[in-house]
Amino acid sequence: MAAEFLLQPVILFFLLGALAAFVRSDLAIPEAAAKTIALYLMMSIGLRGGIEVAETGLTPAMALAGAAGLGLSLLLPLPAFALLRGFGQLDQTNAAAVAAHYGSVSVVTFAAGSEVLKAAGMAPAGFMVAVLALMETPAILTGLLLARRTGPDSLAPRGGLWHETFFNGSVVLLIGSFAIGVISGKSGFAPIAPVFDTLFKGMLCLFLLDMGLVAARRLMDRRALTARTVLLGIALPVMNGTLGVTIGLAAGLDAGSAAALGILAGSASYIAVPAVMRLALPQADPGLYLGMSLAVTFPFNITLGIAYYRWVAMQLHPVLAP
């Protein structure tokens, strides 16, 4: 099954980028272009999810999925912190910073996973985009609370910390685009559909090409990573993703939506959380938390994790589905 996923264009372009980096090719995506594509992806994901919710309306399943996502984002940093402190042998500040990344989410992992699930006939519900937006921030708060013993200034207000936490650009764009999709509906979306629907897969391939380059180059710079942290960068998404799928199915979600919740729970932020941690915990090592989330967990999820979460959903659905 993993081989089936690896043959999809979105995965192959990520592998192409990684290969180019490993052979030290001069292939590069301009930073401004990469940021523009990231903005496009978040707008498209939000709009399309909002339109689906406009079509179906608010449902109990949406409320349950939102509650499950919030709970996971708040609580997943706790076992991650314990493992990072114990097995990972990290100090409290770095363990808290890394743990926050593993409670938050990766928009691109969700986008790639959604496309893979659609191709397999397991398209997740549109409201999972709202769950994605809900899961961005709570883990940050948990991570900051875990770091509170590192000193009296670890949670002190400083230069826009809380503003950065609650109004991070990715959060604002996702929620705003989702709301626009709900308000405009299918008829309002139709004129811009060629841009935000038809082009989506191609833009995702281009962004994953860049992510392959970035992840591989960061992985080759192994100064901040140890064998223990690399192992945790794989173990944490497997544990979190399995829990996410299980909770999703127990809450009554269909197999595709439960798999999407597993993808969200198993992903790790490399955009929103690092931006906040630079302000909140400047003493934490960016090479460590970005190295684990972007150079270890992200490639694992793109190549194997998404396939695993889908497999878990298929195996457990007959057992846990109400």
Phi, psi of 170 (to 5 degrees): -65, -40
Structure tokens at 288: 């460590």
**Burial status of residue 97 (CB atoms within 10 A of its CB: 0-12, 13-18, 19 or more):** buried
CB 115 within 8 A of CB 201: yes
Domains of the chain (ranges, CATH numbers): 8-22+29-233+269-295 (1.20.1530)
Q: What angle do CA 313, 232, 106 make, to 5 degrees?
A: 55
Predicted local distance difference test score (pLDDT) of residue 157:
47
The type of residue at 268 is: A
Q: Where are the alpha helices (DSSP H) in 102-226?
A: 107-119, 128-134, 138-146, 161-166, 169-189, 193, 200-220
Question: Tens digit of pLDDT per residue, the chain (322 long)?
Answer: 555 656 778 788 988 998 999 999 999 989 888 888 888 888 888 888 888 788 777 788 889 999 999 999 999 999 999 999 999 999 999 999 999 999 999 988 999 999 899 988 999 998 998 898 888 888 988 998 898 754 444 444 455 556 666 676 777 887 888 899 889 988 999 999 999 988 988 998 998 898 888 878 877 876 778 999 999 999 999 999 999 999 999 999 999 999 999 999 999 988 778 877 877 788 888 878 988 998 899 999 998 999 999 999 999 987 666 5
Predicted local distance difference test score (pLDDT) of residue 68:
96
CA–CA separation, 17 and 13 (whole Å): 6
pTM passes above 0.85: no
In the chain the first and final C-alpha atoms are separated, in Å, by 27
Q: What angle do CA 271, 277, 31 make, to 5 degrees?
A: 35
Predicted local distance difference test score (pLDDT) of residue 168:
67
Phi-psi region of 320 (alpha: psi -120 to 50; beta: other; left: phi over 0): alpha
The type of residue at 129 is: V
CA–CA separation, 178 and 188 (whole Å): 13
Predicted local distance difference test score (pLDDT) of residue 204:
86
